[in-house]
Amino acid sequence: MIEVGTVIAERVFWVDRELLKRYADASGDHNPIHQDEVFAKSVGLPDVIAHGMLTMALVGKFVTDWAGGSVAVKEFSARFVKPVVVPADQKVDLTVSATVVEVFDGAVRLDLSATSGGVKVLAMAKALVLRS
Amino acid sequence: MLNPDSVGRTFTGAESVSVTQSEITAFALVIGETDFLVAPPTFSIRITLAQSQALLSDPDVGLDWSRVVHGDQKFKIQRPIIAGDVLRCSSTIENYKVVAGNEIVTVRSDLHADVELVVSTWSTLVVRA
């Protein structure tokens, strides 16, 4: 039974430099802040950071797995508040969970939470998904 | 600085973008998705960011892409993108403000397949001072 307040269990995605490279190739976003540590630090970042849209894509995967596939997602939004920092030769976590905040006829709205290293990386993350 | 006359203007791409199965499959595999029949919900960013950047790089617009940081993102999906879709992008600067010297620009991009609206995206871009 899905009702307001239903919590979708937390799941961890692991992010490393290799995933950033794969996402850069698949998305066409080759900004060096997502690849090159020297460049990233030269523009004031602590290290290489993940694409915000990779974070959002992984949160989207969390949503579509729960909702029963990519066709279920009607709206999806988020604010990028902190970067996911990805040091060399490390896997960092992207920890995602969700709560049902509205139930419609055949659809629900989710509030999504996404953190990395305990730091909130997305704010106001929401999805409207078809789900009966 | 952005030319204030650009706000509210819609720039439509001259060329359509054909979506291939290999693009959808590659994007899906990165996030561990194994259903390749429809594109994942954020796939359209692959098209809209590049297209809106091309459309809004007109010197007349005055948006400095070299200093852009992605602030937030929204998708409204009418139907999923599938292989074989031929999509045309139109981009509109919907909102513009300057906060503490940073320019905050909201760009709406609509992807149409012929006359059918497929996806609308809103990207809020922060041009750092």
Chain B contact probe: residue of A14, A25, A27 with most B CBs at under 10 A = A27
Chain mean position to CA A57: 6
> What are the tokens at A42?
């030269």
pLDDT at A39: 94
Asked if A97 contacts A65 with a C-beta cutoff of 8 angstroms, the reply is: no
Phi and psi for A23 in degrees, rounded to 5? -65, -40
Q: What is the mean pLDDT of chain A?
A: 96
Per-residue pLDDT tens listing for chain B (129 residues): 888 888 988 888 878 999 999 999 999 999 999 999 999 999 999 999 888 888 778 888 888 877 788 899 999 999 999 999 999 999 999 999 999 999 999 999 999 999 999 999 999 999 887
β pairing state of B10-12 and A119-120: unpaired
Q: Residue B10's pLDDT is what?
A: 87
Q: Are the Cβ atoms of A61 and B40 closer than 8 angstroms?
A: yes
User: The domain B4-127 belongs to what CATH superfamily?
Assistant: Hotdog Thioesterase (3.10.129.10)
For A26-92, the DSSP string reads HH----GGGT-HHHHHHTT-SS-B--HHHHHHHHHHHHHHHHTSGGGEEEEEEEE-S--B--TT--E
Ramachandran bin of A38, using left for φ above 0, alpha for ψ from -120 to 50, beta for the remaining angles: alpha
Domains of chain A: 7-15+51-130 (3.10.129.10)
pLDDT score for A132: 65
**Range 10-69 of B in CB contact (< 8 A) with A:** 23, 26-27, 29-33, 35, 38-42, 45-46, 49-50
Q: Smallest Cβ distance to A79: which of B72, B76, B80?
A: B72
All structural domains of chain B with their residue ranges: 4-127
CA A65 to chain centre: 13
C-alpha closest to that of A54 among B48, B30, B34: B30
If you search the block for the tokens 């060329």, which residue do you land on?
Answer: B15
Q: Tell me the two tokens of residue A48.
A: 């290489």
- The tokens describing B14, both together, are 């001259």
Nearest Cα neighbor of A73 from B32, B38, B114 is B38
Residues of A in Cβ contact (< 8 Å) with B42: 53, 56-57, 60, 76
**Cα B83 from Cα A46, distance rounded (Å):** 39
pLDDT in tens, A76-120: 999 999 999 999 999 999 999 999 999 999 999 999 999 999 999
Pairing verdict, β B68-77 and B10-12: unpaired
